[in-house]
Amino acid sequence: MLRQPILAVTALLTSVSALPLSATAAEVNIYTTREPGLIQPLLDSFTKSTGITVNTVFLKDGLAERVASEGESSPADVLMAVDAGNLVDLVDKGVTQPIQSEVLNAAVPAQLRDADGNWFALSSRARVLYTAKDVELASFNYEDLADPKWKGKVCIRSGQHPYNTALFADHIAYYGAEETEKWLAGVKDNLARKAGGGDRDGAKDILGGICDIAIGNSYYVGLMRSGKGGEDQVKWGEAINVVLPTFKNGGTQVNISGAAVAKNAKNKEQAVQLLEYLVSDEAQKIYAEANYEYPVKAGVAADPIIASLGELTIDKTPLSDVVSHRKQASELVDKVGFDN
Ligand SMILES: [Fe+2]
């Protein structure tokens, strides 16, 4: 009969000793699916400049599900993810709250944040064109991927990969599903090989003479050319020229990494402070250097390798619109047998 109260006291002591030493020490809890190596320097820098401790939970996936299942007792204050679709998913699952911040609204282009303030882009990457050196293109429209002049010359990863469904969804936003189906069938007809592999395989296959043009993300150019991916990749990176394509009536399609304040954040003030810090010049510079991403804030320089690709004009379609067409894009990929 005596054991139970003793156990309860022990449990209480254990949980008390797990709390920060000073009850007033400011902290913020972040759940992120970004790689620790990319995000830790930013969080360290935040702590250094504000004195606020950051406790981080790194997740491979299932961020929305985890926070939803934790409910009101969730310790998460900030939710960080890659891909606009994953940020919209957080809103759909009801685990975010809208933030009104002049700092965030001023730093993040309108099409790269939620209209209601539920999420904000922190960095971006562009879906660009890699070309063989002898293909001299000053500019390129995504629409032209279906031009028969490229028959047998186009390399691209699986049409179902989120990088591609986002691009195809943007096409739907401009032209509707019917036109996009025709366009996708045209792109499929132009493929040099079965859609597949990764983006870097596009550069590798250009070097191998398999294709003349390929679609890939901008940061892979930095990863390849810098040597961070090893010697072979330097050769792939140097075998290509890069063009920033645009839609005929728009700009270059980008995707983002971004963050939201959790609905049940206990440290909301610090959470907003962290988000605002992440769009500061100092933090945006770290983003640019860590993974060859584009800073979202105007006036912060990209890494020299990325800056050398040319001036980025971000497409005007709001990412929330792009995301709303992704399911349809995925269905069209199947319908035209893009990956077959
Ligand atoms: Fe990637």
User: What one-letter code names the amino acid at 126?
Assistant: A
**Ligand 1 center–CA 198 separation, angstroms:** 8
Where do the domains of the chain lie? 15-124+255-300, 125-253+314-335
**Ligand 1 center–CA 215 separation, angstroms:** 12
Mind listing the pLDDT tens digit of every residue in the chain (340 residues)? 334 444 433 333 334 444 444 445 799 999 999 888 889 999 999 999 999 999 999 998 899 999 999 999 999 999 999 999 999 999 999 999 999 999 999 999 999 999 999 999 999 999 999 999 999 899 999 999 999 999 999 999 999 999 999 999 999 999 999 999 999 999 999 999 999 999 999 999 999 999 999 999 999 999 999 999 999 999 999 999 999 999 999 999 999 999 999 999 999 999 999 999 999 999 999 999 888 999 999 999 999 999 999 999 999 999 999 999 999 999 999 999 999 9
Matching fold, domains 15-124+255-300 and 125-253+314-335:
yes
User: What one-letter code names the amino acid at 256?
Assistant: I
**Ligand 1 center–CA 199 separation, angstroms:** 8
**Ligand 1 center–CA 337 separation, angstroms:** 23
**Ligand 1 center–CA 49 separation, angstroms:** 30
What's the CATH fold of domain 15-124+255-300? D-Maltodextrin-Binding Protein; domain 2 (3.40.190)
In the chain, helix, strand, coil percent, each to 5? 50, 20, 35
**Ligand 1 center–CA 193 separation, angstroms:** 21
Q: CA nearest 89: which of 252, 336, 326, 295?
A: 326
**Ligand 1 center–CA 101 separation, angstroms:** 30
**Ligand 1 center–CA 127 separation, angstroms:** 11
**Ligand 1 center–CA 271 separation, angstroms:** 27
Q: Which residues make Cβ contacts (< 8 Å) with residue 98, sequence separation at least 6?
A: 114, 116, 117, 118
Cα gap 59→146, rounded to integer Å: 38
Q: Where does 125-253+314-335 sit in CATH, by number?
A: 3.40.190.10
| Full-model pTM | 0.90
Extended strands (E) in the chain = 27-32, 53-58, 78-82, 96-97, 120-132, 154-155, 213-217, 240-243, 254-262, 294-295
**Ligand 1 center–CA 222 separation, angstroms:** 12
**Ligand 1 center–CA 15 separation, angstroms:** 40
